[in-house]
Structure formats: C-alpha cells, structure tokens
Chains A and B, each alone.
Chain A
C-alpha cells in the first residue's frame, strides 16, 4: 500500500482552478518528485497534504488514514513534516532553538511542570537539546548551534530547516524546493542528506525546479501543469513524455530528433 495517496484532488476559488482532479501515489521508502512549471499548483498540493488548505474536492490518504479529517496541527503527529520554500525559521532565535521546535510534539513533560521548571521539565529540555544538537551535527551545522538565524548563509539555513524537519521524526518528509538558491556545493550536501534520510526509512516527496536534480534523485515523478497531472512515472518515462516536453518548452521545437507537440 502506498504511504500517501492523493485522489481527485481539486482546489478552486472564485473561478480560479489551482488544482484539477490530481491523482498520484507515493510509495513507502521512495523519493518522489512533484514538478511542473510555475503556477502549476505544486505548493497548493503540498498545502492540502499538510492541511494548511482544504481542497474543494478529492481525497488524501496517509497510511490508509483519511487525512482530510485531520486538523493542521495534528499532521506532524501522524508523521508528516515539511520544509518551506521561503525558509520559515524564527529569525531572532538561535539555530538550536529553531531545531528544538521540531521536537515540540515529541519530547515533552506535563504542562504544569514548565512554569516552575520542575525536574521533569528540565529533563525534557535537556533531552531536546541533545537530540537537536545531534541533528545539527548530522546535517553539518553543529558549529552554528548558538548563532542567531539572522545573518547566517542561506545554504546553512536550508540545512537547519532540514534538521528541524528531521527532528519531527516523520515517516513522510515534504521538501518544498530544497535546492532553490543554493550553491552547487550546498546542492550536493543536500542531495546527500536526502538520500541518507531515505536510507533511514523516511519517504520523501519533493517539489523542485531543478530538473537534473529531480531526474537523478527521484524514483518516481509526477508532473503538474495548470493544475492537472500530465505525466506520472519513472524519470526515464517522464523525460521522454511529449506532454511534459511541451509543457516545459511550450512551443513547437525539435528535441533530440523527436518533433514535439506545440
């Protein structure tokens, strides 16, 4: 059974159809890519999966469970974590504090122990700290632990956000444009991290514009255009799909000897 199933997903507001009848499935343990030109609806799909947005129609199932019945703040407890296109980190906090936020739903003491900082709360805090530090080390950012987020290089922050998502101990990791705006050195580091995550048992669904990255990393790719699925298959299949080529290139053009449809 696939870990994530999306069926008939549609989102429209005021006559605008952001998503129309989207259908795809993410196999457990796979790295699955979601690509498409700008405005194709990729982030909207993500938002629906993480329940930040409610679709107008359709179904989403996670591990067989109906995800649409779940409230946005409960999504992470089911095992879905995500990173954001715009790197939503707390700018005035330290890197460590940001990563510890990922542990919020997992490592905690009873509520009433915190106002008086009773030993149970202290223990939970220390455990969170240690685990967050370990994660930072894993992503290669251990030395930045105490530094405030504001002012750190973009590539470092990308990895910090990745660490925060890992801190949630997800079964499914949603990455929103993980390679956007990073140097090639950072890019390889991120690819490595994604592979390691998958090897440790995490399923990855990523939205990405970097086609070569997607082709080399992903087992399965779903292609969106104007809110619809236009292709779904292995990198090879998708690469040679005329509809995909048309969507990306738009006009009549000769590509590798195959005439494409305009």
Chain B
C-alpha cells in the first residue's frame, strides 16, 4: 500500500507539471480553437530568459521568475499579434503549420547558441518530508500547490469575471462578441500572454530535473497534449485533471509493470481517448455537422 501511495505521490508531482503545460494549451484552444504546437518551445524560451537573469545578472530566483513571466507575456503577445492573427481565418492545416513554424523558429534560434544542457536551480531546496512512511519533496508540494492555485484562479476568472466571460464569448462566437463590443484582438493577446506565462512556470519547474537545453520541453509537450485531450480539449479543469491523471497512471505503470511501456503509454492513451471519447473526461461533446 505504501508503494502504491508513493507512486501516486510521485505521479501527482509529475502530473502537476503536465497539468501546468496543458493549461496553457487549453487556454489557447479555448479562446481561438487552435492547438498551439509551439507551446513547449515558448516555455523553453521563457525558461532560458530566467536562466540568463540568473547567470548573467546574478539575479535572485524571484527576480528571474518575474523577469521570465514578463518575457513570456511579451513573447505570447508578439507571436499572437504578428504570426497567429494573420492566419486566423485559414484552414486547420495552415494554422497547425504556422505553430510548427514557430516551433522550428524558436527551437532553431536557441539551438544556435546552446549545445549542451545547462543546470537550472530548483525553486525550493530541501530534503523530502516524511509523512507516514511516504516521501514528498518540498518542490513537489510547491508545484502541486501552484498548479492547483492557478487552476482555481483561472476557473474563477473564466466563470465569474467579465473579462473571463468575454474570453469565452470570443471563442464561441467571434462575430457576435465583436458586435457586442468585445475587443477580440486584446482577448487573443491576453490569452497568449497567459498561456506563455503558464508554460514558463512549467518550464522553470521542469528544468531542474531534465537540465536546460533547447529540447527539454519536448517530452513534456507531448504529455501536455495527452493530458489536455484526456481531460477534454477546451476544459481548464479537464486539463488539470488530465495532466494529474496522466502523471499518476504513468508512474503506476513504471512502478508496477515496466519502464519500457512508459514510452508507449501516452501515445496509446491519446489514441484511445480520441477514438472512444474525443471530448475527454470533461470536454463538450464533439459533434460533426452533416
């Protein structure tokens, strides 16, 4: 039983990271119906911004964090305004291609300067706590707390604030929202800024474990997709639930069956969910009009 709980705890820790990354994805999808395949790379770039602040300018962690957030927001706004806005009306393939283009641009640019992984510090150092025979590291607790807090915050934002409702309205019906006076441009800009910041947080929390290099977000990005789909593309609580569930299931498989299957697990999960129930756990039903 302790084993099981330990796996669950480990899984929740990893899952919180997936959840953070998934939230950014879901946010963008929720408001502009675009799957942003470059989300991971945006997070990567923001994490590098933090790294620069930490190393070049010897800034303390919290300064680097805020700096990365500012950078992420700016990055999101610029990318949306100059790259995504022009293709708003294009077909799915072209939109996907655009995000792929951004992926390659960001990945490539950083690859020019970075050849080896760099070390990135944890936000909270310290020995793991022990509770009833189970070990929980302090930054796992922090990550989980952050993920939950952000989810709650965003959920309340969307449900109860005027701005949040405006964002949702824009997603559901762009023309009507604009006629109602909702500034669509600002909505998209804010969405991308938020999503980039969420990604940045995820990146800064993941980098200590994986090391910081241009491709470090790759694996997490896939898991983020899996989590977002599992929870239901377009549902923020779903993204969190999906990410957490994915982390836990993944860890259980590693623990009880074998590490080898871990690789194929996310893939099989995505495929299974997409085929059986594309709307995931909490999403709205996907209906195709004839």
Contacts and interface: CB of A to CB of B under 8 A. Distances in A.
Interface string B191-215: 0000000000000000000000000
B286 interface: no
B162 interface: no
A53 B290 CA distance: 8
A189 interface: no
A234 interface: no
A150 interface: no
B185 to A, nearest CB: 31
3 contacts: A47-B290, A52-B290, A53-B290
Nearest to B285: A14
Contacts of B290: 47, 52-53
B91 to A, nearest CB: 13
What is the interface of chain B mostly: helix, strand, loop, or mixed?
loop
Contacts of A47: 290
Nearest to A53: B290
Interface in B240-290: 290
A236 B44 CA distance: 74
Contacts, number: 3
Nearest to B287: A13
Contacts of A52: 290
Nearest to A52: B290
Interface string A199-239: 00000000000000000000000000000000000000000
A82 to B, nearest CB: 13
B287 to A, nearest CB: 9
A52 B290 CA distance: 7
Nearest to A44: B290
- The 3 closest A-B CB pairs, nearest first, are A52-B290, A47-B290, A53-B290
A60 to B, nearest CB: 16
B279 to A, nearest CB: 15
Interface in B115-171: none
A7 to B, nearest CB: 22
Interface in A165-208: none
A93 B257 CA distance: 54
Interface in A10-58: 47, 52-53
A47 B290 CA distance: 8
Nearest to B290: A52
A90 to B, nearest CB: 15
A245 to B, nearest CB: 32
Nearest to A72: B290
Contacts of A53: 290
A179 B290 CA distance: 22
Interface in A61-117: none
A120 to B, nearest CB: 35
B137 to A, nearest CB: 48
B289 to A, nearest CB: 11
A176 to B, nearest CB: 12
A16 to B, nearest CB: 13
B260 to A, nearest CB: 39
Nearest to A47: B290
A53 B287 CA distance: 13
A81 B290 CA distance: 17
Interface string B20-61: 000000000000000000000000000000000000000000
A52 B289 CA distance: 10
A47 B289 CA distance: 12
A71 to B, nearest CB: 15
B259 to A, nearest CB: 44
B40 to A, nearest CB: 35
A54 to B, nearest CB: 11
B26 to A, nearest CB: 25
B212 to A, nearest CB: 47
Nearest to A43: B290
Nearest to A13: B287
A91 to B, nearest CB: 13
A83 to B, nearest CB: 15
A47 B288 CA distance: 14
Interface in B85-99: none
A246 B163 CA distance: 47
A163 to B, nearest CB: 24
A65 to B, nearest CB: 23
A84 to B, nearest CB: 11
A186 B290 CA distance: 28
B288 to A, nearest CB: 11
